[in-house]
């Protein structure tokens, strides 16, 4: 991932811990998260549900009327950096969090979801130095809710619980150390009274972990590392991986050179799913450290691995390593979408994982068996996935060597798809996937480990893939194992996806367009030109007026947007760990932004850019 944060300026610490501007929200019913997921009018977690579908059952907006979407209200979070967060909507209140920048980093706002009226805001007292070690912009991917509490992760490794009615801080817990390069950017997930959080920083040799906190006290319940001995990884006698190469004692040590596992990466800054029937959480770990694979012989377990764990104690039940001995920074923190499919005439409980390596994995979520793995992007770094062994087949011609530039590697370091989450429709049985279409030249170099500094060992130059476009939004059929339709975009599609029961899919582009398309055909139905590019996560909810609303944060940034909002010279092609080369023209399309945009049919504004597309 990207390291451009080391030149950051330090921001001042706010003088007040909790800014309560107004206590106007109605009393919140103390029901649990799972019950709120059953109410289609709410959006109670970043992914909307434990299955990570990002599907809304609301159908007021449909292909016949989507062209009538208009801006209903807006709100500025006040920080023109990368806006990747998903808003939450619970009991008529919208909760949104800002990036880690400006005078009030990671500030939380509570707004009336129908009118946009501000109810309260909360500003933590962070450590400004965290911005200096952050990888991939100072982003925050969202909040969590359960039992009347809002949960916030701050970039400087704190988890905070707030009273959802008032914004009062209830507890905070420190989870990591910025002097080691650790940060937190992921949206927390609450399962059975535990707040689940993973760390970032694999490009600084951070050792990855997932930690569970008691939601009422903030006390640490368990922590599972991604590298090291079995007792640290929480692997015991009930660990039953499907594939033989993953069976053995202390593989998180033995698959590394001596002691390298201690700075081996495998962080977890993506998405967590949960199957209540199996009582298993699912998540993927990130790349091993450093990028230069010549310095870390072996499979480097348990980096680039999908884990299934018991949320009660963290014990691993199965694991599958997607990219053994990862060569190209192909993290596998991407979402695991939990669906039930009929495959070969048999019902299967599966997870769908759009791999960073360019393959669409369909796996048995009870056992970890790979059922299918098909390329959804142009791939030449690998030659496929062996379904008998589960192992990916490398293309030896693309293996990086120290001091040698290997050209035309596809997909590039951010993969065919990075963190940006896809959406699943149970109506169309399609997965809607935003992703990039990039290739790279890669040169490995020797690098030494110094805590809190870049530990990468690679020089990367990225550029558009075959055909010249750099992004795509597509619909994938996991049963037929193929694309149904695709939309090419000139820039990477770095926003999340949303799909609704009205058969409309939504996504944003980095050149400032928010789009609605027909979920069955991909036909453009409507688009809105915003002030800044989109890398946020769209959501849908029902307002107190009975109307269906669509909301998303506008504000370009993240790894590909660094050249538009951070101190990165786009003329230096290998800047931002190579993404500058692929995004040299981005500053001509957009600058940073901080605007929350909320739409409904026949809204109050017909702002320029909100229109039906020309046919």
Closest CA to 161 of 136, 138, 190: 190
Whether 209 and 199 have beta carbons less than 8 Å apart is answered as yes
Cα–Cα distance, 15 to 348 (Å, whole number): 54
State how beta strands 504-508 and 513-518 pair: antiparallel
Residue bearing tokens 């990165």: 568
Take residue 532 and report the two structure tokens written for it.
């800044």
Task: Determine the length of the chain.
Answer: 615
Name 449's Cβ contacts closer than 8 Å, sequence gap at least 6. 205, 263, 290, 455
Strands, E, within 250-325: which ranges? Answer: 273-275, 280-284, 305-309, 316-321
Take residue 341 and report the two structure tokens written for it.
């499919």
Strands, E, within 365-512: which ranges? Answer: 370-375, 382-385, 392-394, 405-409, 423-425, 430-436, 438-444, 458-464, 471-477, 482-489, 498-500, 504-508
**Active site (annotated) includes residue 259:** no
Query: Max alpha carbon distance in the chain (Å)?
Result: 64
Q: 482 pairs with which residues across the strands?
A: 477
Q: What is the 3-state secondary structure (H, E, C) of 143-200?
A: CEEECCEEEEEECCCEEEEEECCCCCEEEEEECCCHHHCCECCCCCEEECCEEEEECE
Whether 463 and 574 have beta carbons less than 8 Å apart is answered as no
Q: Residues marked as binding for Ca(2+)? A: 203, 287, 329
Task: Determine how many CB atoms are found less than 10 A away from the CB of residue 74.
Answer: 15
Cα–Cα distance, 118 to 389 (Å, whole number): 55
29 three-state secondary structure: coil
**Environment class of residue 591 by beta-carbon count within 10 Å: exposed (0-12), middle (13-18) or buried (19+)?**
middle
Take residue 239 and report the two structure tokens written for it.
């660990």
Q: Which position among 91, 232, 329, 418 bears the catalytic label?
A: 329
Q: Residues marked as binding for pyrroloquinoline quinone? A: 84, 141, 185, 267
DSSP code at position 401: B
Cα–Cα distance, 198 to 185 (Å, whole number): 9
Task: Determine how many CB atoms are found less than 10 A away from the CB of residue 448.
Answer: 10
209 three-state secondary structure: strand
Whether 184 and 213 have beta carbons less than 8 Å apart is answered as no
Element (H, E) at 589: helix 586-589
Name 579's Cβ contacts closer than 8 Å, sequence gap at least 6. 2, 414, 462, 559, 560, 562, 563
134 three-state secondary structure: coil
Q: Residues marked as binding? A: 84, 141, 185, 203, 267, 287, 329
Name 528's Cβ contacts closer than 8 Å, sequence gap at least 6. 69, 71, 513, 514, 597, 599, 607, 609, 610, 611
316 three-state secondary structure: strand
Q: Which are the catalytic amino acids? A: 329
């Amino acid at each position: 991932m990207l390291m451009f944060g080391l030149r950051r300026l330090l921001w001042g610490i706010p003088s007040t811990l909790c800014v309560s501007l107004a206590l106007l929200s109605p009393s919140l019913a103390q029901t649990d998260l799972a019950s709120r997921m059953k109410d289609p009018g709410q959006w109670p977690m970043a992914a909307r549900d434990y299955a990570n579908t990002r599907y809304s059952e609301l159908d007021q907006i449909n292909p016949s009327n989507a062209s009538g979407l208009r801006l209903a209200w807006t709100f500025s979070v006040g920080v023109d950096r990368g806006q990747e967060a998903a808003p939450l909507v619970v009991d008529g209140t919208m909760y949104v969090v800002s990036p880690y920048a400006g005078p009030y980093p990671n500030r939380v706002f509570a707004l009336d979801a129908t009118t946009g009226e501000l109810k309260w805001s909360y500003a933590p007292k962070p450590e400004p130095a965290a911005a200096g070690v952050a990888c991939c912009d100072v982003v925050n991917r969202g909040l969590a809710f359960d039992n009347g509490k809002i949960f916030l992760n701050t970039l400087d490794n704190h988890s905070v619980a707030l009273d959802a009615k008032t914004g009062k801080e209830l507890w905070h817990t420190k989870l990591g150390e910025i002097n080691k390069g650790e940060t937190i950017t992921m949206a927390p997930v609450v399962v059975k009274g535990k707040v689940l959080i993973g760390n970032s920083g694999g490009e600084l040799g951070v050792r990855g972990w997932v930690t569970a906190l008691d939601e009422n006290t903030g006390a640490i319940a368990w922590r599972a590392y991604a590298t090291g001995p079995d007792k640290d990884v929480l692997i015991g006698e009930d660990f039953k991986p499907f594939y033989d190469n993953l069976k053995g004692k202390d593989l998180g040590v033995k698959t590394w050179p001596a002691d390298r596992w201690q700075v081996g990466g495998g962080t977890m800054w993506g998405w967590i799913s949960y199957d209540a029937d199996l009582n298993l959480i699912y998540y993927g770990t990130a790349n091993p450290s450093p990028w230069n694979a010549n310095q870390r012989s072996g499979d480097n377990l348990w980096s680039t691995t999908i884990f299934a764990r018991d949320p009660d104690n963290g014990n691993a039940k199965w694991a599958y390593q997607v990219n053994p001995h990862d060569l190209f920074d192909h993290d596998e923190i991407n979402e695991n979408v939990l669906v039930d499919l009929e495959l070969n005439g048999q019902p299967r409980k599966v997870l769908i994982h759009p791999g960073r390596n360019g393959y669409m994995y369909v796996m048995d979520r009870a056992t970890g068996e790979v059922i299918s793995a098909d390329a959804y992007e142009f791939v030449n770094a690998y030659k496929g996935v062996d379904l008998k062994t589960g192992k990916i087949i490398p293309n030896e011609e693309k293996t990086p060597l120290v001091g040698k530039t290997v050209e035309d590697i596809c997909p590039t370091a951010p993969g065919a798809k990075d963190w940006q989450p896809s959406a699943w429709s149970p109506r169309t049985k399609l997965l809607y996937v935003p992703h990039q279409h990039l290739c790279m030249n890669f040169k490995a170099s020797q690098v030494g480990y110094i805590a809190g500094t870049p530990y990468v060992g690679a020089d990367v130059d990225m550029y558009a893939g075959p055909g010249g476009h750099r992004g795509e939004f597509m619909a994938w059929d996991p049963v037929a194992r193929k694309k149904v339709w695709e939309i090419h975009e000139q820039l990477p599609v770095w926003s999340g996806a949303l799909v609704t029961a009205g058969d409309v899919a939504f996504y944003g582009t980095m050149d400032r367009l928010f789009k609605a398309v027909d979920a069955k055909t991909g036909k453009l139905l409507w688009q809105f030109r915003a002030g800044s590019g989109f890398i946020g996560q769209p959501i849908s909810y029902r307002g107190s007026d009975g109307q269906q609303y669509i909301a998303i944060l506008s504000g370009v940034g993240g790894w590909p947007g660094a050249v538009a909002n951070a101190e990165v010279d786009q003329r230096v092609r290998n800047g931002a760990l190579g993404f500058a080369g692929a995004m040299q023209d981005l500053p001509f399309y957009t600058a940073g932004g901080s605007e929350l945009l909320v739409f409904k049919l026949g809204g109050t504004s017909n702002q320029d850019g909100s229109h039906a597309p020309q046919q």
